[in-house]
Amino acid sequence: MRVNRLVSYGLLVGLSAVFLMPLAWLVSTSLKPVEQTMSLPPTWLPRAADGTIQPRWENYREALTSMGGQGAARVPFAVFLGNTLMVCVLGVIGAVLSNALVAYSFAKVKWPGRDKLFAVTLATMMVPFPVLMVPLYGVYRELGWIGTLTPLWAPAFFASAFNVFLMRQFFRTIPEELSEAARIDGCSEWQIFWQIILPLSKPVLAVVALFHFLWAWNDFMGPLLFLTRRNTLTLAVALQNFQSQAGGVQWHLLMAASAVVILPIIILFFFAQKTFIRGIATTGLKG
């Protein structure tokens, strides 16, 4: 038994090291001078001319300064960060509220055609985003949203099939007797939803919020399609522009900017991992 456990732990540590190698190489490259980023054989540690280890922390300052472009059209990194946080926060609020309302209707309220409509809702998950790009662009153009951040967070207020399914599975685990007792006491469906169901659903609400935050933070296609001005770009598109704005890729600066962009996601998941795992385990998706 002890041998099996050691073997299992050894495999887990080995696989973790394999998956962490790209991240380690990113951080290593971000601290090197440009001439060492493509050297052969490759070196893991940044070194000075005399061979001593000397990380170049100024790469991060230079990367964040250069990321916004040059001259009068330069945009500070804080603007890209603020745009991304605005999209993420508003999107999380919309995703949690709208998906919770729809999922409660499918899970706790009995009405004709409920199950059939739920099946249709799940079927929409098979429609890829490229199929919807042109009609969505036309709708947002008519609304005057093209060139603004609105197309990136407003759709979150209209629910999505996956999050509705996730929340519905969790709501179905809450005993129906609680809702029935509240109805006998004269509570409306809104009071049952707001005062009973939601307080008991914090794990799944946190999972949906985390899922949407991660998706919105990393979303590239939406901002690329709907944003037209540099001062409205999110970090994902700004990082892509930074990669292509110079004649050649400055790998040390690109890796430094990439490290800054992914750092909040790593911190967020580190602090929210217990809630995330607990929410997944109680939605009925664990097995």
Whole-number Å distance between alpha carbons of 83 and 235: 8
Terminal Cα distance for the chain, rounded: 25
Whole-number Å distance between alpha carbons of 243 and 222: 19
Retrieve residue 238's tokens. 């700004």
Retrieve residue 8's tokens. 């299992």
Confidence band, pLDDT 50/70/90 cuts, at residue 85: very high
- DSSP secondary structure string for all residues of the chain: -HHHHHHHHHHHHHHHHHHHHHHHHHHHHHTS-GGGTT-SS--SS-B-TTS-B---THHHHHHHHHTT-SGGG---HHHHHHHHHHHHHHHHHHHHHHHHHHHHHHHH---TTHHHHHHHHHHGGGS-HHHHHHHHHHHHHHHT-TTSSHHHHGGGGG--HHHHHHHHHHHTTS-HHHHHHHHHTT--HHHHIIIIITGGGHHHHHHHHHHHHHHHHH--HHHHHH--SGGG--HHHHHHHHHHSSSS--HHHHHHHHHHHHHHHHHHHHHHHHHHHHHHHTTT---
The more confidently predicted of residues 131 and 280 is: 131
Judge contact between 148 and 90, C-beta under 8 A.
Answer: no
Which of these ranges, 17-21, 259-263, 269-273, has the smallest mean pLDDT? 269-273
Which of these ranges, 143-152, 184-193, 224-233, 264-273, has the smallest mean pLDDT? 264-273
Mean pLDDT of 204-215: 90
Percent of the chain surpassing pLDDT 70? 91
Mean pLDDT of 7-33: 86
Confidence band, pLDDT 50/70/90 cuts, at residue 143: very high
Confidence band, pLDDT 50/70/90 cuts, at residue 287: very low
CB neighbour burial string for 235-269, b if at least 16 within 10 angstroms, e if fewer: bbbbbeebbeeeeeebbbbbbbbbbbbbebeeeee
Closest C-alpha to 209, from 279, 260, 270: 279
Can you give the pLDDT at residue 280?
A: 63
Any idea where the domains of the chain sit in the sequence? 2-56, 73-281
Most confident of 6-15, 22-31, 101-110, 180-189: 101-110
Cα 108 to Cα 95, 167, 168, 270, distances in angstroms:
19, 11, 9, 33
Can you give the pLDDT at residue 148?
A: 93
Average pLDDT of the chain to the nearest whole number: 85
pTM of the model: 0.85
Q: What are 30-71's pLDDT values in tens digits?
A: 888 878 777 777 788 887 776 777 888 888 888 888 776 665
Q: At residue 170, does pLDDT exceed 60?
A: yes
Closest C-alpha to 270, from 259, 280, 262: 262
CB neighbour burial string for 64-77, b if at least 16 within 10 angstroms, e if fewer: bebbbeeeeeebeb
Which of these ranges, 56-70, 80-94, 149-163, 240-254, has the smallest mean pLDDT? 240-254
CATH number of 73-281: 1.10.3720.10
Most confident of 12-26, 113-127, 233-247: 113-127
Q: At residue 9, does pLDDT exceed 90?
A: no
Number of neighbouring beta carbons within 10 Å of residue 98: 18
Percent of the chain surpassing pLDDT 90? 30
Most confident of 91-105, 119-133, 198-212: 91-105
